Chains A and B, each alone.
Chain A
Amino acid sequence: MLIVFFRAIILYALVIFSIRLMGKRQIGELQPSELVITILLSNIATLPIEDTTIPMATGIIPMLTLVSLDVIMSALTLRSRKLRQMVSGSPKVIISNGVIDQKQMKKLRYSVDDLMESLHDYNIFDINEVQYAIVETTGKISVMQKNDYSPITPSDIELYSESKNPPQILIDDGVIMHGAIDFLGLDMKFINETLSKNKVDASDVFLMSCDEDKNYKLIKKEDLN
């Protein structure tokens, strides 16, 4: 039993390492090759956990090989557009100028239901509202609405304002986030001054966020006892 326990711990760590190695994109939208790797990884990892007669190497080596090949393949596809198209395919336009390309939809084996379901994700319930729709290589449909139905943006009404980065969390549950302080171009002096102004120690702060203009929000820890 202990063998299975230790193997499960090792392979758990290895699967996490492998997924991290594949990069953030892996967690969100899967390319065809990444989907294959993800399915294979989960299967390969379970074999040595269940069967103690199988050496761990039989699980570890194929996992690392597959992930490494995937990363190398991604690097190669970044350099070659042809290879990228071979491995991941290319995006296909299914609605252009408001007209559905039925031939393309048939080719992609996309039903009207699939299309409508994807449009609902964009809060579009009338197909007349769609100007352009494209099936991405991940299989996700991206939609552009006709101008008449698009929400008004500040630039439409010539309301111009400076774009700013969102506020950053500077203290998270008593821990000072030095990366965020550097990102905002602040220093510890500002933090210490703010803390002393609010008569609180960093360890007693539940959350402190701040933007580039030094507008901050500080929430003290509650006494839960």
Chain B
Amino acid sequence: MKRLILCVTILVIIITGSVLSLFLINNKNQQLIKTIDSITEFAEDRKTDQALEKIDEFSRSWKKYYICVSFLVESSCLEDISASCSKLKALLLKDSEELYSECETIKYGITLIYNNEFPYLHSIF
């Protein structure tokens, strides 16, 4: 009986943890995407200082998020986003158009984290 209770508890913990992690990922992703959007907006408006500030803010948030999310997601997916993130500052200072494509890559990568974790029928089968 003890064993059965332990197993039911383990299953409940796994299910609760999985659902909570999905909410956490979705919530954090929205925040990160918002920051990326404001970076592109500031860059378009030539507000370099504010854009730099947002890039720093994004880098800090990403580093924290990376540690949490690496427990759940394959690190190769996260490495691509980290690589793009490290280029942002240089691209902004160079006033390069590539900044926008890197921002889009980051946004796509972040969205992919959630999509890969969500149990869609096509991802289960």
Q: Which A residues fall within an 8 A CB radius of B?
A: 21, 23, 52-58, 61, 64-65, 67-69, 71-72, 75
CB atoms of B75 and A72 under 8 A apart: no
B14 and A55 within 8 A (CB): no
The reply to whether B7 and A71 contact each other, CB–CB distance below 8 Å, is: yes
Interface residue SS majority, chain A = helix
Q: With a CB–CB cut-off of 8 A, which chain B residues contact A71? A: 3-4, 7
Q: A68 to B75: give the CA distance in the assembly, Å.
A: 28
**B2 → chain A, closest Cβ, in Å?**
10
Give the A-binding residues of B (Cβ under 8 A). 3-4, 6-8, 10-11, 14, 18, 70-76
A68 touches B76 (CB 8 A): no
Contact partners of A57 in chain B: CB under 8 A = 71-72
Q: Nearest chain-A residue to B9 (Cβ)?
A: A68
Q: Which residues of A contact B3 (CB under 8 A)?
A: 21, 23, 71
Q: A64-B14, A65-B14 are in contact. Are A53 and B7 (CB under 8 A)?
A: no
Contact B72 A55, beta carbon cutoff 8 Å: yes
Query: Which listed residue, A21, A54, A61, touches B7 by the CB 8 Å rule?
Result: A21
Closest chain B residue, CB of each to CB of A61: B14
Contact A72 B4, beta carbon cutoff 8 Å? yes
Q: CB < 8 Å: which of A55, A69, A75 contacts B73?
A: A55
B7 A68 Cβ-Cβ under 8 A: yes
Question: Which residues of A have CB within 8 Å of B70?
Answer: 55
Min CB distance A21 to B, Å, is 6
Q: Report the Cα distance A72→B5, complex, angstroms.
A: 9
Q: Closest Cβ of chain A: how far from B30's Cβ, in Å?
A: 22
B11 interface neighbour in A23, A56, A65, A75, Cβ under 8 Å:
A65
Name, among A23, A69, A71, the residue most crowded by chain B CB atoms within 10 Å (CB to CB).
A71
What is the CB-to-nearest-CB distance from A98 to chain B, in angstroms, rounded to a whole number? Answer: 42
Q: Tell me whether A68 and B10 are in contact (CB under 8 A).
A: yes
* A199 CB to nearest B CB, Å: 44
Residues of B within 8 A of A61 (CB): 14, 18
* Distance of A72 Cα from B74 Cα, bound (Å): 30
CB distance from A72 to the nearest CB of B (A): 6
Which residues in A have their C-beta under 8 angstroms from that of B10? 64-65, 68
Q: Which residue of A lies closest to B74 (CB)?
A: A53
5 residue pairs, one from A and one from B, having the closest CB atoms: A68-B7, A71-B7, A53-B75, A68-B11, A75-B4
State how many angstroms separate the Cβ of B118 from the closest Cβ of chain A. 15
Contact of A55 among B7, B18, B74 (CB under 8 A): B74
Q: Given known contacts A55-B70, A72-B8, what 9 new A-B pairs fall within 8 Å (CB)?
A: A52-B75, A53-B75, A55-B74, A56-B71, A58-B74, A65-B10, A68-B8, A69-B7, A72-B11
